[in-house]
């Protein structure tokens, strides 16, 4: 008898034999891979993945470690995953490259192919029985003429995902059947489509008959009509306040039902928007049908313990009808080599992906982003919807600052709203003016103070705090920036929302960084925006007269160059691209946005800064190297937990016991991301302490944090001036 898993129930040992486990994994893996026409490949992976458990050393190891035979002596190495790769090489020589890496890495992650080849030179151990598997492995006929060399690394990850998830699920079904029973059982997309249709009908019935609402109804109707169009890549370009969130979801649900797709995945750039969007969707579809997967989600907000556990399990493999996640989670998983990140990938197959606020995707990473979407669409039955008020150029060939620097974008993107609709005119609710005079903090703060209800958006944390400190503290004056922990940012946004609906709240002044300018539903009569790219200016302007209740709102773009230059890099490039358009433009017109993005793209010398094509688009992909290199956003920061009343018991738990995943999530809500150079300075002056010797978790001195402004150095015991 070859043991695969075993558990003790009372005094009895229950054993899952290896043949049973491999057949169970093969069945699941084949079912997952059948979604993209490679069921036989999945079956073979399942049948071979644990043949190495026949090794005597592994059998000795599992008996000893489980306590089944605590006196067992382990003779030799007990690692077993590599054996499946050796067997696959012998049985399926022409196709083995797509099998071996998944088999050998199904516990530790995919190998760089040169390392895998070295391991494949080892002989098959004598104790291993070579199974008799006669299965022809071919690619799906519909891939004829579609499959490209650049697709193979994605195909490898997809097969790897099928195997990893199948292995986890079969093991869980044996070891933890009560937990396994919590998976699945969600509503169908057909049922959820009815829910959103009912919700939109209710909104329409109870909404005022305003011009803005008539435009929103038109956008919804276009999405309703075009949802059944063929699978492909689509865009929904609607000015801010035009109802993109619900309209895009209506299109996605109708599209998924029409093409029998499995789920809708909504990827969003900022957690502040995710929380808002997820709350809206849970209200429509029920909390039990919407999976919120991001670092700041706290499942303690779920009252039902069974649902709480089910949603926690679903974050592992995205087996849910509607998923709301981050761009970082989505794209970094698509380039990962790790089992935990790749496990969900096969559940992206046969889905609709909505990329919200697509203009925020980093241009220096645009080639791998577009490549991954292109492969998902061509091979894995995925449709993509790009939503934004500022549509970047994502189709055709795009040329950078050097004529040799270019990338091939998506071949075709279909716009849902016809150009003749002239939405930028229909939703023209704001006048934008630019002032190139180099202003000081005191000058801008004085101008802000002249308005009772005003939003001011700046580029850096330093600028936000400097302006806030100069404002009169009357009425509601709020500062928001990433110098504050996520929980206090959330509280600040909620205060703003409530105050804006309170006619008795006369003064509402908000100074914030860009974290509020995309996707957050707030409405001010006046908006100030520090100079930036046109897309950022329009996003800020979208918070001005959003509901069209004024004849016209005013957005004023200003310069703080008298205080400091713009940060080098993307902000400066974007601002220069806008300036280069000249002054006499209709800033809201789509053709102006197209001209702006051409200007912006011409300022980039690479669209693949982490060299994914070089690492992966070849016969020997370097999976582990690429995974470690790919970061959607270059954010070299260190999280530091703030010391406030809410965190004191959490910090004590961290000191006294083994930290749990739930504890980490709670701490993350009260952490500030500090740049490395500033972190080093904080360490030097003793402002941070490491509270757990085994874990790199740091806590900020209580004098260095204020609820209103976040991380600060205005205290008597620090004599150094920090710029953070």
pLDDT in tens, 133-161: 988 899 999 999 889 999 999 999 999 99
Cα separation of 141 and 149, whole Å? 17
At residue 719, does pLDDT exceed 50? no
Confidence of residue 83 (pLDDT cuts 50, 70, 90): very high
- DSSP single-letter state for residue 288: G
CB burial of residue 137 (10 Å; 0-12, 13-18, 19+): middle
At residue 724, does pLDDT exceed 50? no
Q: What is the pLDDT of residue 294?
A: 66
Confidence of residue 715 (pLDDT cuts 50, 70, 90): very low
- Mean pLDDT estimate for the chain: 89
Cα separation of 694 and 714, whole Å? 31
CATH code, residues 429-587: 3.40.50.300
At residue 164, does pLDDT exceed 90? yes
Q: What percent of the chain has pLDDT over 70?
A: 93
Over range 546-561, report the average pLDDT: 91
The strand pairing partners of 690, in sequence order, are 698
At residue 366, does pLDDT exceed 80? yes
Of the candidates 533, 499, 491, 508, the one whose C-alpha atom is nearest the C-alpha of residue 456 is 508
Q: What is the pLDDT of residue 305?
A: 62
Helices (H), 135-238: 152-175, 177-180, 189-206, 211-226
Of the candidates 269, 273, 311, the one whose C-alpha atom is nearest the C-alpha of residue 293 is 311
Confidence of residue 322 (pLDDT cuts 50, 70, 90): very high
Tell me the backbone φ, ψ of residue 421, rounded to 5 degrees: -65, -25
At residue 280, does pLDDT exceed 60? yes
CB burial of residue 652 (10 Å; 0-12, 13-18, 19+): exposed
Over range 696-705, report the average pLDDT: 86
Q: What is the pLDDT of residue 23?
A: 96
Q: What is the number of alpha carbons within 13 Å of residue 617 lying toward its C-beta?
A: 13
Taking only the tens place, the pLDDT of each residue in 562-619 is 998 888 888 999 999 999 999 889 999 999 999 999 899 888 888 899 999 999 999 8
Taking only the tens place, the pLDDT of each residue in 375-410 is 999 999 999 999 988 888 887 777 666 666 667 778
Instruction: Give the per-residue SS3 of 311-378.
Output: HHHHHHHCCCCEEEEEHHHHHHHHCCCCHHHHCCHHHCCCEEEEEECHHHCCHHHHHHHHHHHHHHHH
The strand pairing partners of 431, in sequence order, are 554
Token pair, residue 598, equals: 């051409």
Cα separation of 64 and 60, whole Å? 6
Q: What is the pLDDT of residue 657?
A: 72
Q: What is the pLDDT of residue 299?
A: 54
Q: How many CB atoms lie within 10 A of CB 149?
A: 10
Measured CA to CA in angstroms, residue 74 lies from 68, 84, 108, 305, 409 at distances of 14, 21, 21, 41, 54
Q: What is the pLDDT of residue 311?
A: 66
Cα angle 374-377-381, degrees, rounded to a multiple of 5? 160
Length of the chain: 724
Cα separation of 373 and 377, whole Å? 6
CA dihedral 66, 69, 73, 78 (to 10 degrees): -30
In three-state secondary structure terms, 409 is coil
Confidence of residue 717 (pLDDT cuts 50, 70, 90): very low
What lies within 8 Å, CB to CB, of 620 at 6+ separation is 113, 114, 117
Cα angle 569-556-527, degrees, rounded to a multiple of 5? 95
Residue 33: its H or E element: helix 18-34
Q: What is the pLDDT of residue 278?
A: 86
Cα separation of 31 and 173, whole Å? 16
Q: What is the pLDDT of residue 283?
A: 92
At residue 517, does pLDDT exceed 90? no
Q: What is the pLDDT of residue 87?
A: 94
Q: What is the pLDDT of residue 243?
A: 86
Taking only the tens place, the pLDDT of each residue in 636-691 is 788 888 988 888 888 888 877 766 777 887 888 888 888 888 888 888 888 888 87
N- to C-terminal Cα distance for the chain? 62
Asked if residues 51 and 87 have their Cβ atoms less than 8 Å apart, the reply is yes
Confidence of residue 442 (pLDDT cuts 50, 70, 90): very high
Cα separation of 118 and 116, whole Å? 5
Cα separation of 566 and 573, whole Å? 10
- The domains of the chain are located at 3-180, 189-421, 429-587, 637-711
| 481-509 as b/e: b if 16+ CB within 10 A | bbbbbbbbbbebbebbeebbeeeeeeebb
Measured CA to CA in angstroms, residue 681 lies from 302, 390, 668, 688, 718 at distances of 40, 39, 22, 10, 11
Which sign, positive or negative, has the C-alpha torsion 169, 170, 175, 180?
A: positive
Q: What percent of the chain has pLDDT over 90?
A: 57
> Locate tokens 């008298």: which residue?
562
Over range 122-130, report the average pLDDT: 90
Cα separation of 368 and 669, whole Å? 31
Taking only the tens place, the pLDDT of each residue in 450-496 is 999 999 999 998 999 999 999 998 899 999 998 899 899 989 999 99
Pairing relationship of beta strands 705-706 and 414-415 according to DSSP bridges: unpaired
Asked if residues 423 and 434 have their Cβ atoms less than 8 Å apart, the reply is no
How would DSSP label each residue in 291-308? EEESTT--GGG---HHHH
At residue 720, does pLDDT exceed 50? no
Q: What is the pLDDT of residue 248?
A: 95
Helices (H), 67-140: 81-91, 96-104, 113-120
Cα separation of 521 and 497, whole Å? 8
Confidence of residue 718 (pLDDT cuts 50, 70, 90): very low
Taking only the tens place, the pLDDT of each residue in 3-43 is 999 999 988 999 999 999 999 999 999 999 999 999 999 99
At residue 102, does pLDDT exceed 60? yes
Q: What is the pLDDT of residue 441?
A: 96
The strand pairing partners of 383, in sequence order, are 352
Taking only the tens place, the pLDDT of each residue in 73-82 is 998 888 899 9
Measured CA to CA in angstroms, residue 438 lies from 443, 561, 568, 573, 628 at distances of 10, 5, 17, 18, 42
Q: Does the domain spanning 189-421 belong to CATH 3.40.50.300?
A: yes
Asked if residues 271 and 295 have their Cβ atoms less than 8 Å apart, the reply is yes
């Amino acid at each position: 008898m070859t043991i695969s898993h075993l558990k003790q129930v009372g005094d009895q040992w229950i054993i899952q034999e290896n043949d049973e486990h491999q057949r169970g994994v093969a069945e699941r893996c084949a079912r997952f891979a059948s979604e993209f026409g490679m069921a036989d490949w999945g079956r073979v992976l399942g049948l071979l993945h644990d043949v190495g458990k026949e090794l005597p050393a592994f059998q000795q190891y599992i008996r000893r470690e489980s306590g089944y035979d605590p006196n067992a002596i382990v003779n030799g190495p007990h690692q077993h995953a590599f054996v499946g790769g050796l067997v696959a090489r012998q049985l399926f020589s022409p196709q083995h490259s797509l099998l071996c890496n998944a088999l050998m890495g199904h516990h530790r992650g995919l190998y760089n192919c040169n390392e895998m080849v070295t391991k494949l030179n080892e002989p098959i151990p004598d104790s291993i029985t070579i199974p008799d598997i006669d299965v022809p492995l071919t690619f799906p006929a519909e891939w004829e003429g579609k499959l490209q060399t650049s697709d193979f690394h994605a195909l490898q990850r997809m097969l790897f995902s099928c195997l990893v998830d199948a292995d986890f699920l079969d093991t869980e079904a044996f070891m933890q059947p009560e937990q396994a029973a919590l998976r699945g059982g969600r509503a169908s997309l057909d049922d959820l489509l009815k829910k959103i249709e009912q919700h939109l009908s209710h909104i329409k019935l109870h909404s005022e008959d305003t011009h803005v609402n008539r435009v929103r109804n038109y956008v919804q109707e276009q999405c309703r009509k075009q949802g059944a169009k063929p699978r492909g890549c689509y865009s929904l370009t609607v000015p801010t306040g035009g109802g993109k969130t619900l309209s895009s979801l209506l299109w996605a649900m109708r599209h998924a039902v029409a093409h029998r797709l499995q789920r809708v995945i909504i990827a969003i750039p900022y957690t502040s928007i995710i929380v808002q969007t997820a709350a809206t969707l849970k209200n429509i579809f029920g909390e039990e049908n919407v999976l919120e997967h991001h670092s700041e989600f706290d499942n303690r907000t779920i009252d039902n313990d069974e649902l709480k556990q089910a949603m926690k399990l679903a974050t592992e493999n995205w087996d849910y009808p509607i998923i709301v996640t981050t761009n970082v989670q989505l794209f970094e998983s698509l380039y990962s080599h790790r089992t935990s990140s790749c496990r969900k990938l096969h559940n992206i197959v046969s889905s609709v992906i909505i990329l919200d606020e697509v203009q925020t995707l980093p241009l220096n990473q645009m080639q791998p982003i577009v490549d991954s979407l292109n492969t998902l669409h061509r091979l894995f039955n995925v449709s993509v919807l790009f939503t934004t008020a500022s549509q970047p150029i994502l189709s055709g060939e795009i040329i950078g600052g050097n004529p040799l620097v270019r990338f091939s974008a998506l071949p075709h993107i279909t716009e849902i709203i016809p150009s003749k609709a002239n939405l930028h005119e229909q939703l023209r609710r704001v006048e934008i003016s630019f002032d190139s005079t180099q202003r000081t903090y005191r000058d801008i703060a004085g101008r802000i103070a002249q308005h009772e209800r005003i939003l001011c958006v700046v580029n850096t944390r330093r600028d936000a705090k400097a302006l806030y400190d100069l404002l009169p503290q009357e009425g509601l004056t709020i500062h928001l920036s990433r110098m504050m922990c996520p929980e206090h940012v959330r509280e600040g946004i909620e205060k703003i929302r409530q105050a804006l609906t309170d006619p008795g709240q006369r003064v509402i002044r908000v100074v914030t960084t860009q974290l509020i300018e995309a996707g957050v539903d707030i409405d001010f009569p006046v908006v100030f925006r520090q100079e930036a790219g046109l897309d950022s200016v329009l996003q800020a302007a979208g918070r001005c007269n959003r509901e069209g209740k004024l004849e016209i709102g005013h957005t004023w773009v200003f310069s703080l160059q008298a205080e400091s230059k713009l940060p080098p890099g993307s902000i400066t490039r974007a601002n220069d691209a806008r300036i280069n358009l000249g002054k006499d433009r209709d800033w809201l017109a789509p053709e102006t946005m197209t001209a702006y993005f051409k200007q912006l793209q011409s300022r980039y010398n690479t669209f693949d800064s982490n060299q994914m094509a070089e690492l992966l688009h070849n016969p020997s992909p370097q999976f582990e190297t690429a995974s470690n290199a790919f970061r959607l956003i270059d954010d070299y920061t260190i999280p530091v937990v703030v010391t406030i009343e809410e965190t004191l018991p959490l910090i004590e738990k961290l000191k006294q016991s083994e930290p749990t995943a739930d504890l980490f999530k709670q701490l993350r809500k009260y952490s500030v991301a500090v740049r490395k150079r500033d972190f080093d300075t904080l360490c030097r002056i003793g402002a941070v302490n490491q509270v757990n010797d085994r874990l790199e978790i740091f806590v900020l001195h209580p004098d260095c944090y204020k609820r209103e402004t976040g991380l600060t150095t205005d205290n008597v015991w620090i004599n150094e001036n920090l710029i953070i």
